Amino acid sequence: MVIIFKGDGVIYMEDITSRDEEQERIQAREQVEKRKRQEELKRAKEEARKQAIEQERKRQKEKGSLGTGSKYVIYLVVLALIIAVVAWFSLNVTVTNATPGNALPFTTNYGVSFPEGQTITIGNTHINVLSYQNEIISDIDGDRQKLVVGEDRIIGERRAVITTLGAITLMDTNFKIDLKYKGQRDNRAYFDMVVHTSKQVPDMLLKQLLPPEIDARPL
């Protein structure tokens, strides 16, 4: 549509149809741009969602791996404790006579007390003590001796083998014991005990030779 109008002696012409078409084209372009922006926003949101899902899966996988590793460590610790307990309660001590004269360079000192009138077994040695006036009568495997304070009594050389779990040897050593009488109190005879061994032996294993009745305490 063309509109003609006059003014100041000049004729003006304007094509209204062309102007409307241009406006429509502009609006159409704007609509296209708007849809593009909406699609790009939608794609960006979808991509962000996928990345978030992937990161969460990765985090859960790593968490699961760490959890599995921790469980394995706990299982190993529990298994080690069970084995240690079983090994401890399956300790077996065997004491036999040995030929005297071996080198016994290692010593461990204890303070011990024997209950009077009660037979105590150290390895394969049987000991019984009984006080008489200011003396103590010591019976070691049927050999009786009277002791006064400060006198010694010797338990001859023996061989001790400690095993666990039926086959594992923890200790194999020759040993000899020196006892020095320290006096009597409350129906117990007190001695200083020196254990001589051919090998260095941990105290926890060496104490397996000593019965709890003598209350051995390291000096």
pLDDT band at residue 57 using 50, 70 and 90 as cut-offs: confident
The CA-CA-CA angle for residues 189, 182, 206, to 5°, reads 75
Structure token pair of residue 186? 């409350």
Sign of CA dihedral 97, 102, 108, 113: positive
Closest CA to 113 of 165, 53, 182: 182
Of the listed ranges 42-46, 61-65, 81-85, 157-161, the least confidently predicted one is 61-65
Q: Is 170 helix (H, G, I), strand (E, B) or coil?
A: strand
Among residues 88, 116, 141, the one where a domain terminates is 88
What's residue 214's pLDDT? 93
In angstroms, rounded to a whole number, what is the distance separating the alpha carbons of residues 79 and 77? Answer: 5
Contact 21, 37 (CB under 8 A): no
Name the residue with higher pLDDT: 91 or 7. Answer: 91
Structure token pair of residue 171? 């200790």
The number of distinct structural domains making up the chain is: 2
Same-domain status, 34 and 137: no
pLDDT band at residue 58 using 50, 70 and 90 as cut-offs: confident
Containing H/E element for 217? strand 217-218
Same-domain status, 20 and 78: yes
Considering 3-12, 87-96, 109-118, 164-173, the range whose residues carry the highest mean pLDDT is: 109-118
Structure token pair of residue 97? 């006579």
| Structural domain includes residue 102 | yes
Structure token pair of residue 197? 């061994």
Name the residue with higher pLDDT: 51 or 26. Answer: 51
Residues spanned by the domain of 39: 13-88
Contact 189, 116 (CB under 8 A): yes
Among residues 22, 55, 88, the one where a domain terminates is 88
Structure token pair of residue 127? 């000991």
What's residue 59's pLDDT? 76
**Residue-wise pLDDT tens digits, 112-128:** 999 999 999 998 899 99
Among residues 88, 116, 147, the one where a domain terminates is 88
Containing H/E element for 76? helix 16-89
In angstroms, rounded to a whole number, what is the distance separating the alpha carbons of residues 191 and 184? Answer: 9
Please enumerate in sequence order all residues whose Cβ is within 8 A of that of 167, keeping only pairs 6 or more positions apart, or say none. Answer: none
Same-domain status, 197 and 164: yes
